[in-house]
Amino acid sequence: MGIPIVPALGLLFAGISAFGQYRTGVAQRQAKNQEAYNLELQAEQDSIIALQNENRRRKQASILLASNLAEQAYNNRYDNSFDAFLEENEAVVTDDIGGIQLSAFLNDRVSKQRQEVARSEGRAFYEAGLLGAATTLGTGYYNYRRLS
């Protein structure tokens, strides 16, 4: 006796549908992995920008210090108030650089969390695709056995 055509077609279409679900899960996982990679690249760029900002602030402070020292030397005036001014200037620069570094650190942590979320979502999409494919195959096989 041959294989009944209708149940066999149902099994075939279940297999095709299962393969589609599996490929959808794979594609979604790949998309999320790419998203995580893009976030990683963006974090590296942000880190470089923060370093550039830090270096720019240090250079700006150095130029201002040199200018103030030159002015004091030109005026032949040096007293305790100028020392206090220099100390305050140094404190401001240190605070500015600390703020830049803290901001860069926090941005990096947020980026790493977003990367992990994207990867987790990708794994979940992949697993959902596998489970959907397995369910479709199981249902197709059940229907095939029931109808044949």
pLDDT score of 96 more than 60: yes
Nearest C-alpha neighbor of 128 from the set 47, 29, 53, 38: 29
Q: How far apart are CA 45 and CA 107, in angstroms?
A: 11
Q: How far apart are CA 125 and CA 71, in angstroms?
A: 66
- List pLDDT tens digits, range 1-18: 566 788 889 899 999 999
Percent of the chain exceeding pLDDT 70 equals 98
